[in-house]
Structure 1
Amino acid sequence: MTSIQLLKHNIQKISFKQIGWTILTLNLLLIVYFVFIIQQSDEFLFAFDNTFYTFIAIGFCAQLIDGALGMAYGASSSSLLLHFGVSPKIASASVHMAEVFTTGVSGLSHLKFKNIDKKLLIKLVIPGVIGAVVGAYLLSAVLDGGFIKPYISAYLLILGILILLKGIRNNFKKHKKVRKAGLLALVGGMFDALGGGGWGPIVTSNILNQGKDPRLTIGTVNTAEFFVTFFATGVFLFYVGVDSWQVVLGLIIGGVLAAPLGALVASKINKRLLMIVVSLVIILTSSLNIYHSFIGG
């Protein structure tokens, strides 16, 4: 048996319990790191003002949408943050920091109920992490935030259109195997980090369109998203730091408040109608961001 075959064999032997403990450990490490930064910082500022409540509202709405659709948390929250004047770097970094906790809880829930295709999870995690790290590095250290803002808004506008078309069409093609899962994860991870969202619309939608069971698709992609988000956050912390506590804590608090309502919304609301409404919000806010970037200044 070659070393590559041995590695694949060992990876396939990883249990759901081991994946769960990994998620818990990584979340705990991030919490410890945040506490350490706060204690060491002499410039830690925080105010319960209208701006903070706006971020709570954005986190609440985004998590409610994600709970009902299984996607669009990043696209909706990022487009709204950009609309309220948050820079692309801070917006994407804040969304990913908040998402580490929301996707961690989501992943643990899916593991508990065995909504996971382990082979697909392995195919998604490694290329997804690579794509996210590259995207986060480009946004943090290479690309200028002011220059790239209209292009990020244009990307989110395209995502909004894709979500709208998906809501209108509301049907899936049928294929037995998931094709090009690694490539989907690589592209999804990179654009998710660059634009602050897109993992769900790119990865989940394409896999569902190939006929994969919705329960296993959403569970697997959401669990993989935790690892993608965690490593993107690591890059953002290294290059951007944590100067956006109001945004991060606002998104986390809003998300925690909305989380219990997610399942209720998912069971009561017409998902097709919600997807269309969400896509229109993303399209509108992204269009306004593009307009202000090129016309309004």
Structure 2
Amino acid sequence: MSDEQPGSDGRIGALARELDALPLGDRLRLDRANWRRIGIALVVYAISLWLLTAFVVPQFTPDSADSVGLFVPVIVVSAFVFETLDSASGMGFGATIGALLFVLGYDPLAVTPVLLLSEAATGIVSGLFHNEFQNVEFGLDNDSAVEATRVLGIIVGVGVLAVVVSVVLTYFQFSIPDVYIKSYVGVVVLLIASVTIVQKYVGSATDYRPRLLIGFAVFAGLNKGIAGSGYGPVITLGEIISGVYEKSATAITSAAEGIVSLAGIATFFGITAAGVEINLMLLPSVFAGGFLAAILAPYTVRTLPNRALQYLVPGYALVLVAILFAQVL
């Protein structure tokens, strides 16, 4: 048996690989510290909901929307379901619930800032609990943790620039026609998802290739800057193709999107100075469902065998492609 510490070869996800090799009972078991942190997160959840409904949302809700209930059951449940899938696969929350909200008749200025605010909270919470449940390691303890932290920094750096560009271009009327954006994102995700699935069937080498991963991070950032969407699928699938363990790839993307969304929030509140009115009436509903899912999904990833994610992630990406193409047609 090797004397090397987990992650000594620099591969991201060494600890997750070790955990995945244990029996299901061991993966299901949580210790007292885990439960204590879950309890703290639930207290933060309750306080945050109170602050949102009592102070934040009333300040950014037009008078015409005062009669709308703060909690819409179908949106709460949908946010829970879609955020569970997003935190477990590293993609899809914005595309799925955004499409639903548009179908329900909500205006983009009542949807996009709410999704960014919600994703900031749920992404960071999900990333913390992915780390808590050992789907990924962030820190300086070993080579695997250092490399995961470095990749997170690269993805966040590129993503922050991209999201600022996409928000500014979108809300200052310098945008590409919607049909071209969605077609572009759909084709890109379809190609990358197909490559990922082919790799699993033909048994291609999955050695860790950090330079390739950095290239995908740059491409995902440019993609978000151009299209304003499709960031999660590109970066998650790119990580997997680059040799990152599936569980760790979804964890890194969740954490990155949470941090990147903070830049989007700052940009949105910045453009209010230019006279753009935002509407946060949907925030309590989206946050109520999404925050709980951000805790549950990392635990689900911990308990599932990694081979399930090998097909869940690209398979769900193809579902998102179908949703995008359905909106175009």
Tell me if TM exceeds 0.5.
yes
Deviation (angstroms), 1:242: 6.7
Q: How does 1:1-297 map to 2 (within 5 A)?
A: 35=55, 38-39=58-59, 43=63, 45=66, 47-48=68-69, 52-88=72-108, 90-112=110-132, 113=134, 115-116=137-138, 117-143=148-174, 148-158=177-187, 161-162=190-191, 165=194, 168-169=197-198, 171=200, 173-179=205-211, 181=213, 184-192=216-224, 197-239=229-271, 243-263=278-298, 265-266=300-301, 267=303, 270-271=308-309, 274-275=312-313, 278-279=316-317, 281-291=319-329
* Equivalent position SS for 2:183: helix
Quote how far apart the aligned CAs of 1:222 are.
2.8
Sequence identity (%): 21
Paired residues of 1:157 and 1:286 also in contact (CA < 8 A): yes
The Cα offsets for residues 190-216 of structure 1, whole Å up to 9 and x where unpaired, read as 544665642221112112211134454
> In structure 2, what residue type is equivalent to 1:153?
K
Question: What TM-score do the two structures reach when normalised by structure 1?
Answer: 0.68
Give 1:48 deviation, angstroms. 2.8
SS of residue matched to 2:211: coil
Bigger proportion of residues as helix: 1
- Provide the C-alpha distance between the structure 1 equivalents of 2:74 and 2:185, rounded to a whole number of angstroms: 20
The answer to whether the 8 A contact 1:136-1:235 is kept is yes
Distance in 1, matches of 2:62 and 2:102, equals: 28
The aligned amino acid for 1:76 is: T
Give the conservation status (yes or no) of the 8 Å contact 1:135–1:189: no
Secondary structure, aligned partner of 2:69? coil
Cα distance in structure 2, aligned partners of 1:209 and 1:77 = 27
One-letter amino acid of the structure 2 residue matched with residue 290 of structure 1? V
* Contact preservation (8 Å) 1:89, 1:139: no
Contact 1:67-1:262 within 8 A present in 2 as well: yes
- Work out whether residues 79 and 156 of structure 1, in 8 Å CA contact, stay in contact via their aligned partners in 2: no
Q: Where has structure 1 moved over 6 Å in runs of 4 or more?
A: 31-34
Give the AA of the match of 2:327: N
Q: Distance in 1 between matches of 2:156 and 2:190?
A: 26
Q: Is the 1:75–1:156 contact (alpha carbons within 8 Å) kept by the matching residues of 2?
A: no
Q: Report the TM-score, using the length of structure 2 for normalisation.
A: 0.63
Aligned CA RMSD, in angstroms, stands at 4.0
SS at 1:246's partner residue? coil
Residue identity matched to 1:102: T
Gaps of 5+ in 2: 1-40, 42-46, 139-147
Contact in 2 for aligned 1:53/1:250 (Cα 8 Å) = yes
- Which deviations, in whole Å up to 9, do the C-alpha atoms of 1:110-162 show, x marking residues without a partner? 45456222222232222221111111111122336xx7333343345336635
The separation in 2 between residues aligned to 1:156 and 1:87, in whole angstroms, is 22
Write the distance in 2 (CA, Å) between the matches of 1:181 and 1:139: 28
- In 1, distance between residues paired with 2:67 and 2:226? 27
Query: For residues 235 and 268 of structure 1, what CA distance do their matches in structure 2 show?
Result: 37
Kept in 2, the 8 Å contact 1:63–1:73? The answer is yes
SS at match of 1:179: helix
Q: Point out the structure with max Rg over C-alpha.
A: 2
- 1:274 positional shift: 4.4
C-alpha distance in 1 between matches for 2:208 and 2:318 = 32
Distance 1:225 1:256, change over 3 A: closer
SS in 1 for 2:177: helix
Contact preservation (8 Å) 2:166, 2:228? no
Q: How many residues align?
A: 262
